[in-house]
Amino acid sequence: MPATFAALTLLSVVGMVVARNLMLRRQGVQTMHFGKLDRKDFLIPPIAAVYFYTVLGHAFGWPLASTQLFFQSEALAWMGVGLCAAGLAVQAWALVSFGRSFRVGIDTEHPGNLITSGAFACSRNPIYVAFWFILLGQFLVFPNWVLLLYLVAATWLLHRQVLREEAFMGEQYGSAYAEYCAGVRRYL
């Protein structure tokens, strides 16, 4: 059961983002700005595809580079399920909180409004917090060296993206963003 839930979490994450993107596109909002400022961002999809395959492979018995686990603990696997569920909940809350300002990537032409309510009243980066919860949860379900490597790399990459976005937001929203940063934590 934990393995199936961890696999379904990936599909849910992608489904939520795609659904939100399609809803906003119908309203005339261009949400996809991925890779416009940094072409290295295009390295992320193939790396993410390997991650998806690894999680799905563990869940459904597909051939993998390594199936050796660091430990086997039903309790930790269920904690991982809990983290995956929390990550999905936080992501859903953040997507709703974003309203029409949701973007994938940095939109320098039409950035939308500064969002400081809902999930953004608790964290300046709730979607990245949600992603990290999910990655940690999936590692606890499948404690494999490949997923540990992804967790460590993703922690660094997510923080790098947060710093890029914060620099842009500071320029874009000025003192309003500085006040927001003073009152709300970067992560938790």
| CATH at 71 | 1.20.120.1630
Distance CA 42, CA 40 (A): 5
Residue 11 belongs to some domain of the structure:
yes
Given pLDDT bands bounded at 50, 70 and 90, which one contains residue 74? Answer: very high
Q: What is the pLDDT of residue 114?
A: 96
Residue 79 belongs to some domain of the structure:
yes
Residue 89 belongs to some domain of the structure:
yes
- pTM for this model (two decimals): 0.93
Q: Of the given ranges (29-33, 117-121, 162-166), which has the lowest mean pLDDT?
A: 29-33
pLDDT average, residue stretch 142-151: 96
Range of the domain at 151: 2-183
Distance CA 25, CA 32 (A): 9
Q: Which helix (H) or strand (E) holds 72?
A: none
Residue 174 belongs to some domain of the structure:
yes
Residue 188 belongs to some domain of the structure:
no
Residue 49 belongs to some domain of the structure:
yes
Residue 34 has pLDDT above 90, yes or no: no
Sign of the torsion angle spanned by Cα atoms 145, 55, 138, 17? positive
Residue 111 has pLDDT above 90, yes or no: no
Residue 32 has pLDDT above 90, yes or no: no
Q: Exposed, middle or buried by CB within 10 Å (0-12, 13-18, 19+), for 1?
A: exposed
Residue 22 belongs to some domain of the structure:
yes
> Total structural domains in the chain?
1
Q: What is the DSSP letter of 32?
A: B
Sign of the torsion angle spanned by Cα atoms 167, 137, 87, 34? positive
Residue 112 has pLDDT above 90, yes or no: no
Residue 93 belongs to some domain of the structure:
yes
Q: What is the pLDDT of residue 109?
A: 86
pLDDT average, residue stretch 68-80: 96
Residue 139 has pLDDT above 90, yes or no: yes
